[in-house]
Structure 1
C-alpha cells in the first residue's frame, strides 16, 4: 500500500503556501456572533530598529497558541495586531538613522522622518509575525500613532480632566537629562554603580567644631537647605536650634531633627538638598524648606551654583570635590557601589527637578485596584505579587506630560490673557502646537489669543487604552458591549508595574470595569548560562534566521516545550534543532498511517491493545486540557511528544502492524484506533504547531481546516492505562534480549524481526496475540 502523503520528510518551506491559503480564506476574521467573545489584549510590539529578542518571539508565538486554543474551544476570537509607534525609542532610532538631533530641527520635519523610519520597520515586523503563523487580524491592524488611536487617547484625557481626575502641579519630579523629559516612578530601574562617598567638614556656626557629613552628591552642596540628624542620636542631642556653614559656599543652614537620618550611616548627619533623592523631596515637604532649583532641564547646574553654574553633573561633582580637597574640607573619600535610580530607556541616572506637569490621579484608586488585583486570575499565580508590591509602593500621582516630539499631543490651549488651560470637545485628533484651537474665545475671560501646548503624553497613556481601542470604545457601542471586557492580557513580567497597572487604572476610571479577567505573564528568555540576553554581553540571538532555517513550527514547538509558563527559559539553536526531531517523527508516523484506509465508525468490538492505547489517549487529552485551560503550553507540548514518541510509535504501532496490514480479525479495530489516535494528536497539536497539523490533517482526514475543528473532549476510558508500564517493560525486555542474543546463522545479534522464545507474562494475556506478532515470539 502506497502512502497518500508522498513527501518522505516534513519540509517547512510549505509553511508559506499554507499561510497564503489562510490569508486568502480570511480564516481568522472576527465579527459579532452568538458565540462568546474571546478578546486578547495583544501587546503591540515596538519597531525600534532592533531585531526581536528570542524571548519576545517565543512570547508572541505562545499568544497565538492562546488564540488558536480559544478558537478550537468554540470561542469567537478577536486577536488584534497592533504596532506601538509612540515615544522615545522611535525618536532615538530616527536620530541615529538620519544622523539628526530632534531639538535642532523643525518639529514637523523630524516627525516626518520618524514616520518614514517606522513604516519600513513596521512592514518587516508584520511580515515576521505572519511568518510565525500568528492567526491575528492583520487586515485591521492598528498603529498607536494613527489619528484614530491618538484621538481616543486625547478623548480619554479630556474625560478625566472634566471629571477632576487630572491636574497641573509644580512638583519635584523624576527627570532624565538624556531623554529631556519627566518620567514616572514606574519607568525607573535601579543598578549598583561605582561612585565616591565624600566625607565633608561642615563647621558648626559660632564654633570651631566640625560635623562630618558623608554624601554621594557633593555637587549639590549649593542647594543644601538643612542638615538633619536623628532625634534619637545621642551625639546630636545638644544641636537643636544650631546651624552649620556650608563648605566652599559659606552659607548658613539650620540643623534639624528628622527620623530619616540614619545614625549608622556615616556620621549620622545628612545634608538635605533640592534634590538629591526622594528622601530629600520628603524632608523638604515635611520641614517646609524653600527649594533651590539646582539643575536645568538640560541637566546643567543653574546660576544658583555660583562659580559652578553651567556645568554638567559629573563636571560639577569633579570640580567641587577638587576644591573641597584644596581647602582641606574633605576628611576622607571612599569608592563605593551605590544603588542608583536610572531611566529605564536611556539607562542614565535620573535627576529630581521641580517642573510643571500634568498628573492623573492614581493614589485614591490604589485601594480599589488592590481589591481588583485579588480578583484578577493570574497565569501563573506567583506573578500576582509583582502587581501587589507595586501598588503598595505607589507614592505619587502619575505624571503624564512629556517634553518630547513623537507622541500623542496633550490637547490643551492656554489663554494668553488669563493663562487658563482650555480643552476642546473629544472626538478628533488635535495638535495644539501647530493648529488653531477649535474655539474663538476664552470661556473664562473672553480672550481671543491662545498658545497651544507643545508637550506630549507619556507613551503609557496610549498603551493603557489598548483593550478599549480594540473593542471600539466610543466608536461602536454594539461591538464594545459584546467584546469588552477583554478575556486575557498576555505580557512580560517586567512591565506589570507599567502596562498592566496603568491599563487597570485607566479602564477602571473610564468604564468602572476591569479591562480583562485573566493576566498571562511570561518569563524571560535567557542564554545557555541562564543570563539575561543583552547586546553588551553579546549573547542576543536573533530568532528570525533560526525560523527561516528550521521553520515556524519548529520554533513554536521549541517555545512551547521549553518555556514553562511564568519561568525564565533558555534559548539556543541547539535546543530548537532538537525540537525539529519531533516534527520529523510526527511526519513519519503520519506518512506511514496514510497508507492505511480510514475506519471512521467505531467497531462493535475493540481488541485489548486498541482499548489500551485509547485509554492512554484519554489520559493525554485530560493532561492537555489542563495545560490549555491554564494557557501553559509547556504541559501539552511535552505530554504530546512523550505520548507520540514513547507510547504510540514505540509500542502501540509496532504491536498492531500485523493487524493493520492483514485483513483478519481485529483489522478494522486497528485501523479505527490508529487513525483515531493520530487525528486526535493533530487536533491537540494544532494550536502549537499549526502548519504541520494543517498539512497532515487536510491530506489525511478532511479538506476543512484543522483550525476550524474543536479540541478533543476528555474521555473517561482510562482504566486500561494500568497496563502501560507492564507493556513497556515487556517490550523493552524482548528488545534487549534480542540485542544480547547472537544468531547461530549470522553470528550477529538477533534483529528485531527474528523469532525468539520468550513467553508473554500472564498479566499481559489480553495482549498476547499482538505481542507475539510484534516480536515474532515462538510461544504465547
Structure 2
C-alpha cells in the first residue's frame, strides 16, 4: 500500500472494475429476496448537482448494504425527457442563434432535438459513476425510448376507456413565454410589490356605486359580475342589482358567494372568470360568461377593442386614466402579494380558459389515499404522509396536455366530422365513420404523466417480463419533498391502477441542502455548489460521508467541514491498515488472547447491530457517526495503540486482520472505494468486498463490550485535568499504552470534582425538565442521558 491514500486514481479504477465484472448487475433468475431502488430519472440534458450527490449517497448506501446481506438488488438508472425543461433549454440555445423552437417547424424541431441531445444529453450518468453509484447501467432507460413510449400510450388509452380522460375548457396556468399550459405544481409563487387600485362601479339605477380593489386593472374589460359575501351587511341590499363596468360600460349583476374574502380590499370582488381561478369557479357555479381579453402571448387580444396589442401594464394604465377622468378612481396604494411564475422560465403565469385534456382524479386517488392511511406505503419523516394526504384528499382534475412539441404526443385522432379515435398506435381510419382522413392531436402529455409509470415501465410493462415479475413492487423511493405531488403520488395511483400493487413500501423524503449562507441552491442565481468542488479535492468517499453526516435535519447548510471529516476518516483507516500489513500479513482469524482484542470484536459487533438499525430506519447521520467513532476512536486510537507492542505475535495480527475485515464491511456501503482498495491488499482474498457477506452477529464477545470503560474514564480525566485516578491490571496497561502519560498526575483534583458536580447538576436539571424531554429530539435527550452517566462515572472515579 502506498504511504498516502490518493482517492482520485483509486476511485476511478474501482468504478471501472465493479462495472466490468458485472457486480452492479441485477439478475431476475438469481436467488434471494429483492431490494429495488428506482433512482428518480434526471433530465436527459441535466448535470450532476450536490443534491444528486446527496440522494445517490443515500440510495447507494442502502443498495450496497442490502447487496452484502444477500439481497437480489436492482438499482435502476434512467433519464427523463423532461418535456418543458428540455423545450425551454433548447429555446435558450436557439435564442442565441436568433431563432425559436417554433421557427423550426415540428419536423425540424424533432431533428434538432435529437442532435441537441447527442451533444448535451447523457453526461450525468458518467457523473453518477464518479460518485460510485452502483446502478445497473446496462438497464438504463429513457422515457422517450420505443418501449417506454408504448407504455405511455397504453396508459392514456386505459384511462380514456375508463372514462377518466376528457377534453374540456377550464382555466389553466398559462406560460406566455413557452406558450403552454402548466399544472398547479409547476407554478412557483413569489412575493411581489404591486399597486392596488380602488375603482368605483356605478350602480345601473344611478343610486350609488360599489368600489372594488384590483391589482390587474387591464382585466376589468372582462368583468362579468361583482360578488359579495352573503354575510356582509354592507352589501346585503345590493345583491340582485346591476353595476356598470368601467371603460367597457357593460351592465353586470351583483351576486352573493361565500368564496369572497370580506377582509380583502372593500369586500366586493370583481368577477373575471376568464382570468382568475377563483373567479372561474364562481362563474361556473353562477352560470356567468367567460370573457377573455388577454391572449396566449400575454398581450391584450382583439376582444380588448382599442386596447388590443397592448401589454397588460399599458392597458391597465389606460383603464385607470379613463376611470380617473370620470371620478371613478378612488385611490391607489402599495400592495405586496404572491404571484405565480413558471417554474422553469420564471415568466409570470397567466390564468386563461382554454380547451385542454384532463384526468378525473377521484377514483384514482381513493386507493392511493388508502395505501398510505393503511401503512402499505410509509413516509420518512412521517410528517410527509400528512402532506401527501392533505393534497390527495383535496385533489383536483389533472391537466395533462402541453402545447409544446417535445414529449409523448397525445394518441387522439380527429376526422373531418369531428369524431375522435383514441388508439395506442396510428389508426388507419376513424373508428366511428371510417374516414381515412385523420389528424392527430398536436399537444403532448405532461412529463409527469409518463414519469408516473417509471417503477414498472422500466421493467418492461405492459409486457409480462421476468424483470417485472421479480422486481415489482420496489422497496424504497428517495426523493425531495417538492415532488411528492408531482411524482410520488402519481406513481402510487398509477401502480395501483395498472398493476394492483403499490410501487414501493417506503418513500424517503431526503434533506434539501442549502448553501453555506442558508439560501436555496440555484445555478441561475449563482448560489449552487458545483459537486466537482468536493469530488476533485476530497474524493467520492469523503463526499458521500460528509453529505450523509448532515442528513439529520431537513434543511442543512452545506459545509466542507463534514467532507473534510470524511477525508480524515479515510486517511486514518488507510494508515491503520498499512500499519498492520507492514507488521506482517497473516490470514484473518479471530484468536483473541487479551481483553482489548475481545473488546474491539465486541465493539465492532455492537456497531454492526446499531448500524443495521440506523440504516433500516434511514438514520444515515447517526450511522456514519457510529462508523467514525468505531474506526477513529475504538479501532485506531485504543485497540491498535494497545496491541502495538505485541504485533510481532501471529495470533495478535490474525485477530487484528479479522477485526479490520469486519470493520471494512461495515464501512463499505458508505465509503466503498477506500474499503475495497484496502480489502484487496489483505491476505486470503476470495471475493470483492462489494459482494462479501455482511458480518454475522458475534455474541461470544458481548460480555467484554465495556471492558475498557475504566481505562477510557481515566484517559478523559487525565487529558482534561492532568489528574491520574487509581487503576490497575489491564486497565493500567492499556491506559499507559494509549495515553502515554507524562508528569506525576497530581492535577487539581478538587477543581475537577467541582467541574463535574456542576455538569451533573446541569444535566440532571435538563432531564428533570419535562418540556425538554418531551420536545427535544430523541437523540438529543438520549445524548444528555449518556453525558450524565459519563459525568457520574468520572466523579465516582475521583472518589466523589
Give the TM-score, by structure 2 length: 0.87
Within 5 Å, which residues of 2 pair with 1:90-109? Answer: 90-98=86-94, 99=97, 100-109=99-108
Which residue pairs with 1:275 in the alignment?
274
Which residue pairs with 2:427 in the alignment?
438
Q: Distance in 2 between matches of 1:628 and 1:263?
A: 52
Moved more, 89-98 or 692-701: 89-98
- Distance apart, 1:563 and its partner CA: 2.3
- Distance apart, 1:777 and its partner CA: 8.3
Structure 1 residues 644 and 246: alpha-carbon distance in aligned structure 2, compared to 1, 3 A threshold:
same
- Distance apart, 1:125 and its partner CA: 1.4
Match among 648, 653, 659 for residue 677 of structure 1: 659
Contact residue 608 and residue 767 of structure 1 kept, 8 A: no
Matched, 1:551 2:539: yes
Match among 699, 712, 716 for residue 728 of structure 1: 712
Structure 1 residues 422 and 24: alpha-carbon distance in aligned structure 2, compared to 1, 3 A threshold:
same
Contact residue 200 and residue 212 of structure 2 kept, 8 A: yes
Q: Distance in 1 between matches of 2:168 and 2:244?
A: 33
Matched, 1:592 2:579: yes
Segments of 5+ residues of structure 1 without an aligned counterpart are 431-436, 742-757
Q: Deviations over 1:389-427 (max 9, x none)?
A: 221332x211111110111111121111x2111123x3x
Contact residue 294 and residue 301 of structure 1 kept, 8 A: yes
Q: Distance in 2 between matches of 1:153 and 1:254?
A: 47
Q: Deviations over 1:512-561 (max 9, x none)?
A: 22111111211211111222112454321111243122221121111122
Contact residue 585 and residue 682 of structure 2 kept, 8 A: no
Contact residue 712 and residue 735 of structure 2 kept, 8 A: no
Match among 615, 627, 631 for residue 628 of structure 1: 615
Q: Distance in 2 between matches of 1:774 and 1:196?
A: 72
Matched, 1:653 2:649: no
Within 5 Å, which residues of 2 pair with 1:110-189? Answer: 110-189=109-188
Contact residue 362 and residue 505 of structure 1 kept, 8 A: no
Within 5 Å, which residues of 2 pair with 1:355-754? Answer: 355-374=354-373, 375=375, 376-394=377-395, 396-416=396-416, 418-424=417-423, 426=424, 437-439=426-428, 441-535=429-523, 537-564=525-552, 567-595=554-582, 596-598=584-586, 600-603=588-591, 606-661=593-648, 663=649, 668=651, 670-701=652-683, 702-716=685-699, 717-733=701-717
Match among 70, 74, 88 for residue 70 of structure 2: 74
Q: Deviations over 1:719-773 (max 9, x none)?
A: 4333444222223455678xx79xxxxxxxxxxxxxxxx78515xx344444455
Q: Deviations over 1:305-337 (max 9, x none)?
A: 222223333332333233333443211111111
Where 1:118 maps in the other structure, the secondary structure is helix
Structure 1 residues 720 and 382: alpha-carbon distance in aligned structure 2, compared to 1, 3 A threshold:
farther
Contact residue 555 and residue 576 of structure 1 kept, 8 A: yes
- Distance apart, 1:135 and its partner CA: 0.8
Q: Deviations over 1:638-657 (max 9, x none)?
A: 11112211222122211121
Structure 1 residues 766 and 419: alpha-carbon distance in aligned structure 2, compared to 1, 3 A threshold:
same
RMSD, aligned α-carbons: 2.4
Contact residue 543 and residue 563 of structure 2 kept, 8 A: yes
Q: Distance in 1 between matches of 2:270 and 2:435?
A: 47
Q: Distance in 2 between matches of 1:575 and 1:6?
A: 25
Contact residue 641 and residue 737 of structure 2 kept, 8 A: no
Match among 11, 16, 25 for residue 29 of structure 1: 25
Q: Deviations over 1:555-577 (max 9, x none)?
A: 1111122223x622222445433
- Distance apart, 1:212 and its partner CA: 1.2
Q: Deviations over 1:447-480 (max 9, x none)?
A: 2311111110000111111101222212343331
Where 2:706 maps in the other structure, the secondary structure is helix
Q: Deviations over 1:614-633 (max 9, x none)?
A: 22222211221112212332
Where 1:461 maps in the other structure, the secondary structure is helix
Match among 37, 43, 46 for residue 46 of structure 1: 43
Q: Distance in 1 between matches of 2:102 and 2:741?
A: 85
Where 2:266 maps in the other structure, the secondary structure is coil
Contact residue 302 and residue 309 of structure 1 kept, 8 A: yes
Which residue pairs with 1:57 in the alignment?
53
Moved more, 632-641 or 51-60: 51-60
Which residue pairs with 1:744 in the alignment?
none
Where 2:379 maps in the other structure, the secondary structure is strand
- Distance apart, 1:611 and its partner CA: 2.0
Structure 1 residues 235 and 774: alpha-carbon distance in aligned structure 2, compared to 1, 3 A threshold:
closer
Where 2:505 maps in the other structure, the secondary structure is strand
Which residue pairs with 1:749 in the alignment?
none
Q: Distance in 2 between matches of 1:725 and 1:201?
A: 82
Q: Distance in 1 between matches of 2:11 and 2:283?
A: 64
Where 1:656 maps in the other structure, the secondary structure is helix
Q: Distance in 1 between matches of 2:739 and 2:529?
A: 47
Contact residue 86 and residue 408 of structure 1 kept, 8 A: no
Q: Distance in 2 between matches of 1:266 and 1:771?
A: 76
Structure 1 residues 123 and 443: alpha-carbon distance in aligned structure 2, compared to 1, 3 A threshold:
closer
Q: Distance in 2 between matches of 1:164 and 1:766?
A: 79
Contact residue 656 and residue 774 of structure 1 kept, 8 A: no
Matched, 1:315 2:304: no
Segments of 5+ residues of structure 2 without an aligned counterpart are 745-800
Q: Deviations over 1:327-375 (max 9, x none)?
A: 4321111111112222222223322222222112212333322111232
Structure 1 residues 234 and 472: alpha-carbon distance in aligned structure 2, compared to 1, 3 A threshold:
same
Contact residue 226 and residue 271 of structure 2 kept, 8 A: yes
- Structure number with the bigger relative contact order (C-alpha 8 A, sep ≥ 6) is 1
Matched, 1:761 2:727: yes
Moved more, 314-323 or 167-176: 314-323
Where 2:195 maps in the other structure, the secondary structure is strand
Contact residue 90 and residue 118 of structure 1 kept, 8 A: no
Structure 1 residues 632 and 113: alpha-carbon distance in aligned structure 2, compared to 1, 3 A threshold:
farther
Which residue pairs with 1:752 in the alignment?
none
Contact residue 553 and residue 689 of structure 1 kept, 8 A: yes
Which residue pairs with 2:795 in the alignment?
none
Q: How many residues are treated as equivalent by the alignment?
A: 735
Contact residue 380 and residue 509 of structure 2 kept, 8 A: yes
Contact residue 217 and residue 276 of structure 1 kept, 8 A: no
Where 1:335 maps in the other structure, the secondary structure is strand
Q: Distance in 2 between matches of 1:711 and 1:633?
A: 18
Which residue pairs with 1:205 in the alignment?
204
Which residue pairs with 1:247 in the alignment?
246
Within 5 Å, which residues of 2 pair with 1:193-232? Answer: 193-232=192-231
Where 1:152 maps in the other structure, the secondary structure is helix
Match among 8, 11, 14 for residue 15 of structure 1: 11
